Amino acid sequence: MRKTKETNVTCPACGTQLAVTGNGVVAAVENKAPAKLPKTAQERIEALSRAGVDVSNLFAMQGSGGGEYVVSNKDGKLSILADDDPIFCAILSQGTVPNRRLFRRWVMAQMFHMLSYRDYLCKEPVGVTEMIRRLGYEYQWKMLLSELRAQMKMEPRDLASFSERNRWFNVRVVEAIAQEYVEHLTRYVDELPVKKCKGIPYKRVGGENIFEQDLYNKLYGPLHRAAGRIRYAKNAAQLYNAIKAFDDLRVRLPHETPQCKAWVDAYKGAGAFHTMQNLIRFHGCLAIDDKGMQLDKDRSLVFLSLQADRYKNGGGWRMLAMLKKMLDDNGIDVAKKMKEWRNSKR
C-alpha cells in the first residue's frame, strides 16, 4: 500500500503542530521543541487574525531599543500584551533589549528641582507651574530657539530622537507662541506713553521712535507676515529659520509678561517625558499601565512613548501627572534623591 506523504505545519495561533495529508488534517503531533510566536509584532497580529481572533483593537509598536510588542487599545485603555497573555497559546522567550543612547539626563535634575523647590520658611513646594513662570517671558524664546536649532541638526541624523522632541515643540506650538506674542506686543505698545514730534504722536518702542500712524507698517505688519510663514514649514530647518526670522523682528517684552500656554504645556510634557525615560532606564523605575499591571523595563519605555503620543497636543500636564504617579508608585522621594546626588558630588 502506498504511503501518503504527510506535512507538518504549525498553528499560527497556538503553536500546535498538525500532520496534514492530501485529504486534510489527520492528527495533532507532539511538539518536540517549545512553540514560538512569530518574530515581529505585526506577524503576530496577522497570525491571530488568521486564527479568527478579533484584532481590531491591536496594533504593533516598536520599542526605542528595537523590541516589538503587540499593544491593545480596548475601551480607551492601553496595555502591552505580555508573551504569556491568554490571547497567545505559546510563550516567546525574550531577552533584554539593549539601549545604545543616552537621553537628556540633565532634564531630570531640572524637573526634580522644580518639583521640590520651596520658598524660604514655606513647607510646601511652589510647584512646577510657578517655577516655570519665574523663568520669565524671554526665557521661552531663548529655550525655543535652542530647542529648534537642536532639532534642525538632529532630523537628518537621528530621526528617532528628533521625533521624541518634535512631539512637544513643533509647528503648532511655535505658531501659537508667535501669534500670542503679537497680541502681547500690541497691549504693551498701547500702554506706552504718547509723545509728539511737531504735533505728530509717536511712541518709543524697543529703542526706536515710531509714529503711531506707522505702527502697523513698521512693527505689526512684518511680524504678522513672519508669523504666517511659520505654518508652512515642512521640516525642522524651515521651522527654525522661520521662527529665527520672527525673533529677529521682536521687541523684548517685560519679564512678567505671561508665557504662552502652549509652550508651558509642551515644556511640562517634554520635561516629564525625559524624566520618566531616565527613571526607567537608569534608576530602576517601572510603569503601571491603564489596567494596573506593572510592566518590565522595556515595556515601560514603550508604554511611556504611547502615552506621550496620546498627550502630545495639549496634554503635557497629563505627562506631568503621570510622572508624579510614577514617582509615588516606585517610592521615589524627590528631595531625598536630590540630597543623594549632592552628597555623591562631595
Q: For residues 26 and 174, what is the distance between their CA atoms, to the nearest angstrom?
A: 65
Return the C-alpha cell found at 4: 501518503
Check residue 109 and give its pLDDT.
83
The residue range of the domain holding 15 is 7-80
Of 216, 221, 212, 223, the C-alpha closest to 253 is 223
278 and 139, same structural domain? Answer: yes
Task: Provide the residue-wise pLDDT of the chain in tens; the chain has 346 residues.
Answer: 444 454 454 443 334 344 444 444 333 344 444 445 667 777 777 666 554 456 677 777 776 566 777 777 766 777 777 766 655 643 233 232 223 344 466 788 889 999 999 999 998 999 999 999 999 999 999 999 999 999 999 999 888 889 999 999 999 999 999 999 999 999 999 999 999 999 999 999 999 999 999 999 999 999 999 999 999 999 999 999 999 999 999 999 999 999 999 999 999 999 999 999 999 988 899 999 999 999 999 999 999 999 999 999 999 999 999 999 999 999 998 888 787 777 766 6
Check residue 346 and give its pLDDT.
61
Q: Which residue has the cell 541638526?
A: 153
287 and 149, same structural domain? Answer: yes
Residue 86 is assigned to a structural domain of this protein = no
Residue 72 near residue 88 (C-beta atoms within 8 A):
no
Distances in Å between the Cα of 343 and the Cα atoms of 38, 159, 221, 318, 346 are: 49, 37, 55, 32, 5
Phi/psi for 281 (5° steps) reads -70, -40
302 and 213, same structural domain? Answer: yes
Residue 88 is assigned to a structural domain of this protein = no
152 and 39, same structural domain? Answer: no
127 and 41, same structural domain? Answer: no
Q: How many folded domains does the chain comprise? A: 2
Whole-prediction pTM = 0.71
126 and 33, same structural domain? Answer: no
Residue 127 is assigned to a structural domain of this protein = yes
Return the C-alpha cell found at 253: 517684552
Check residue 36 and give its pLDDT.
57
Residue 265 is assigned to a structural domain of this protein = yes
- Round the CA-based radius of gyration of the chain to a whole number and report it: 28
Phi/psi for 173 (5° steps) reads -70, -45
116 and 36, same structural domain? Answer: no
273 and 175, same structural domain? Answer: yes
Residue 226 is assigned to a structural domain of this protein = yes
76 and 109, same structural domain? Answer: no
299 and 248, same structural domain? Answer: yes
The secondary structure element, H or E, covering residue 17 is strand 17-21
Q: For residues 236 and 148, what is the distance between their CA atoms, to the nearest angstrom?
A: 7
Check residue 64 and give its pLDDT.
59
286 DSSP 8-state letter: -
